[in-house]
Amino acid sequence: MNALAAQLPIVPVLLPSLTAIVLLLIGDHGGDEHGGHSHEKLAWARRIALGSGLLGLAVAAWLVAQAAAGELLVYRVGDWPAPFGIVVVIDRLGALMLLLSSLVALPVLWYACGGWDAHGRHFHAIFQFQLMGLHGAFVTGDLFNLFVFFEVLLIASYVLMAHGHGRERFRVGLHYVVLNLAASALFLIGVALLYAKTGTLNLADLALRVPEVTAPESVVVQSAALLLLVVFGFKAALLPLSMWLPATYAAASPPVAALFAIMTKVGVYAIWRVHGVVFGADAGDAALTAEPLLLPMALATSVAGVLGMLAARTMARLVAWLTVASVGTILAAIGLFSAAAWSAAMYYMANSTLVIAGLFLLTELVAAQRGDAADRLAPASPVAQPVLLGLMLLLAAASAAGLPPLPGFIGKLMLLEAASAHAAQVAVWTVVLGVGFLTLIGLARAGSVLFWHVRDDLPPMGASGASPQLVGATLLLLAATVAMSALAAPIQRYTAAAAAQLGDRAAYARAVLGEAGEAIDTTRPYRFAPPPAAMQEGGR
């Protein structure tokens, strides 16, 4: 790897942060908001933000290509050796998360440039800070820096939540801020407890030291693990910590809610990285601390999410509850603690994130053509573009519910196969299939109300809310899910390799810690549950 390529692992963090600084310096509203000077600055802000997004997507794609070859990319900030310095680590999972966030962010940013970014000040700069926090959380190799990037993305999300103003946004935003501050305090307590007993917060070093903590000190480590599960569960919207999400996401502006579709995955990723690996099967007395709780809570989350979706009275709340249901399905796969299940979780997570982001944007396109009814699930004026918007909703609904041949079906099929060798097979199959069926019913009901149960006494409201730019951005997200079906085989190979790599703690420790990483016993591989016989024989 040449010198320039060696610097690329830090680019996903530096690029949005530097872009945000440039955007703040030029400003997007200067002098009179209705003057030409202001519009010119906003136009430049849009160009810079979109250019940065395109470059970020290209870097993420390059990192995925590098990670696919099995190479662990490690960047030591200031050239300080781990575990003493800040380290950025990109493996297959981290690269996948970077690519997914970039694939969501770019169409959402293009959509926001259609007018939503002009509803408040410095939208593009705050958007870039949000990306900085997201990307930093996905690549950091240190638990404390994970906390730092959590705070960066949360502070940016507080501002984005209120973007566009409105009483409801401020009301819901206040609850969102208070609850996240409480979760952040618990995060610090959990980090402090871990550091007190292990003397490190580097994730690779923790994988070495946590197994060495024995009773009675191991009780403190287990308590820290459970505290972190509460924190990450809140961020991911794991039941019973998920009640904040539907109101928050439904109140946010459409592009902000669409970006927030990836934000819950930061909590999912943290559970994966911390509880799946650091507190995994080889963590000594603290091994699999979260296992008795994670799977039942995840299944309950999925059920609660789909029931909330069925009871929703607006399309925005329906999609918000669908977010909760999808998170439950992903965490259920992680809670199975097998390589096959983790591979399924990655595939399903990528699809569900793209679909939900697209649905949030589609909700506004439909609402703009329904007059005063907006996105309420009640008869109203017929939309001006029923065929186009109806087909877009049909595509999203089919993938979200898991109908073949779309990627939602493939991801759920992978999960069902992975659960076939697990003691909780009946519960997993029942919930996954039942939630998929109810999701289809809920979205079909919404579609029939929006496009069929219309008031003939009211004329169409016009298609002004569905400009080519807004429709194009939404179609990009939905088209990405179709591409996942076309590329299912290579994506599955990648996710299977990523799941196996997560279990290879020795390789991770060697890459990050160098010679100190040799302390991991390589003769005791990560004790994943055995995959189903069908996958052992034929593979995917």
User: Could you read off the pLDDT of 304-326 as tens digits, one per residue?
Assistant: 999 999 999 999 999 999 999 99
pLDDT at 111 over 90: yes
Mean pLDDT to the nearest integer, 263-269: 94
Q: How confident is the model at residue 397 (pLDDT cuts 50, 70, 90)?
A: very high
Distance CA(129)–CA(22), nearest Å, equals 12
Q: For position 534, what pLDDT does the model report? A: 37
Q: How confident is the model at residue 523 (pLDDT cuts 50, 70, 90)?
A: very low
Secondary structure (3-state) at 376 = strand
What rounded mean pLDDT belongs to the chain? 88
pLDDT at 539 over 50: no
Q: For position 465, what pLDDT does the model report? A: 58
Distance CA(304)–CA(110), nearest Å, equals 33
pLDDT at 219 over 70: yes
pLDDT at 166 over 80: no
Distance CA(150)–CA(138), nearest Å, equals 10
Q: How many CB atoms lie within 10 A of CB 484?
A: 21
Q: For the chain, give the percent of residues with pLDDT over 70.
A: 90
Mean pLDDT to the nearest integer, 154-168: 85
The residues, ordered by sequence, that sit 6+ positions from 113 with a Cβ below 8 Å of its Cβ are 46, 49, 50, 469
Q: For position 538, what pLDDT does the model report? A: 38
pLDDT at 532 over 50: no
Mean pLDDT to the nearest integer, 327-338: 95
75 touches 6 (CB < 8 A): yes
Q: For position 412, what pLDDT does the model report? A: 95
Q: How confident is the model at residue 417 (pLDDT cuts 50, 70, 90)?
A: very high
**DSSP symbol at 532:** P
Q: For position 282, what pLDDT does the model report? A: 84
396 touches 359 (CB < 8 A): yes
pLDDT in tens, 50-70: 999 999 999 999 999 999 998
Q: Worst-scoring range by mean pLDDT, 37-46, 67-76, 135-144, 359-368? A: 37-46
Mean pLDDT to the nearest integer, 412-430: 94
pLDDT at 531 over 70: no
Q: How confident is the model at residue 515 (pLDDT cuts 50, 70, 90)?
A: low
pLDDT in tens, 178-212: 999 999 999 999 999 999 999 999 999 998 899 99
Phi-psi region of 462 (alpha: psi -120 to 50; beta: other; left: phi over 0): left
Mean pLDDT to the nearest integer, 101-113: 95
Q: What is the b/e burial string over 510-531, where b = at least 16 CB atoms within 10 angstroms of the residue's CB?
A: bbbbeebbeebeeeeebebbeb
Q: For position 536, what pLDDT does the model report? A: 40
pLDDT at 33 over 50: no
Q: For position 214, what pLDDT does the model report? A: 87
Q: For position 30, what pLDDT does the model report? A: 42
Element (H, E) at 75: strand 73-76
Mean pLDDT to the nearest integer, 508-525: 67
Q: For the chain, give the percent of residues with pLDDT over 90.
A: 64
Q: For position 522, what pLDDT does the model report? A: 47
Q: For position 516, what pLDDT does the model report? A: 58
Q: For position 505, what pLDDT does the model report? A: 85
pLDDT at 481 over 50: yes
Q: For position 535, what pLDDT does the model report? A: 37
| Radius of gyration (C-alpha) of the chain in whole angstroms | 23
Q: Is the model more confident about 37 or about 335? A: 335
pLDDT at 35 over 80: no
Q: How confident is the model at residue 520 (pLDDT cuts 50, 70, 90)?
A: low
Task: Mark out the alpha helices in 271-385 (DSSP H runs).
Answer: 291-311, 315-335, 339-367
Q: How confident is the model at residue 529 (pLDDT cuts 50, 70, 90)?
A: very low
Q: Is the model more confident about 117 or about 430? A: 430
